[in-house]
Amino acid sequence: MVRIKFILLGALAAASAFYSAQAFAQEGLVAPPGEVAVEPYVQSNANAGATPFTGDAMFRAFHGEAGIARVVDGMIDRNLADPRISEIFKASDLVRLRRTLKEQFCYLLGGPCAYTGRDMKSAHKDQGLQNADFNALVENLQKAMDKEGVPFRAQNRLLAKLAPMQRETVER
């Protein structure tokens, strides 16, 4: 009996891991498993803060969804270890942050993903971000892209697309 319970729990956990954020939103739920619930908001690719690249060249330059996941995870891990900005991330829902950044990058890079996160202004509201914080994050992103072997030109193209978001995220 105990073994059956563990098998059922394992199956439920596996199924919930594959249940997409969009499916949760369609059913009126506000947080996928492992994430802290947030106030409901309108989900839209427009919230990603920029228009995506056309074609799949950029998506391929980042080595697809797996490469994007490694870049995002590497950037977040660096941010958590970076004394300049680690405090900003300590209060974050890291599960949601990782998921939505992967979605955002995948969408912007022309991949087959939809962005389900909030718009940049409301996502960063009341964090008191400064230009130095933004710059440190960009440095950590560049290191993560280098480690993934993303070509320099592709890195610059993504950074150019992300740069205008500074106006929406930096508060002081």
Domain of 85: which CATH number? 1.10.490.10
Phi-psi region of 43 (alpha: psi -120 to 50; beta: other; left: phi over 0): beta
The percentage of the chain sitting over the pLDDT mark of 70, rounded to a whole number, equals 74
Q: Clarify whether residues 15 and 54 are in a common domain.
A: no
Q: Clarify whether residues 73 and 130 are in a common domain.
A: yes
Q: Clarify whether residues 1 and 71 are in a common domain.
A: no
What pLDDT, on a 0 to 100 scale, did the predictor assign at position 113? 95
Q: Clarify whether residues 25 and 88 are in a common domain.
A: no
What pLDDT, on a 0 to 100 scale, did the predictor assign at position 167? 78
Q: Clarify whether residues 82 and 164 are in a common domain.
A: yes
- Which residues constitute the domain of residue 146? 41-169
Chain centroid to CA 162: 13
Q: Clarify whether residues 34 and 47 are in a common domain.
A: no
What pLDDT, on a 0 to 100 scale, did the predictor assign at position 119? 77
Q: What is the pTM of this model?
A: 0.78
Q: Clarify whether residues 30 and 55 are in a common domain.
A: no
What pLDDT, on a 0 to 100 scale, did the predictor assign at position 67? 98
Q: Clarify whether residues 19 and 47 are in a common domain.
A: no
Q: What pLDDT digit, counting tens, does each position of 78-122 carry?
A: 999 999 999 988 878 899 899 999 999 999 999 999 999 887 776
Q: Clarify whether residues 82 and 142 are in a common domain.
A: yes
Q: What angle do CA 92, 96, 101 make, to 5 degrees?
A: 100
What pLDDT, on a 0 to 100 scale, did the predictor assign at position 14? 32
Q: What pLDDT digit, counting tens, does each position of 9-67 carry?
A: 333 333 333 334 444 454 454 567 776 776 767 788 888 889 999 999 999 999 999 99
- Total count of domains within the chain: 2
Q: Clarify whether residues 55 and 113 are in a common domain.
A: yes
Whether residue 169 contacts residue 124, with contact meaning beta carbons closer than 8 Å, is answered with yes
Sign of the alpha-carbon torsion through 69, 72, 75, 79 = negative
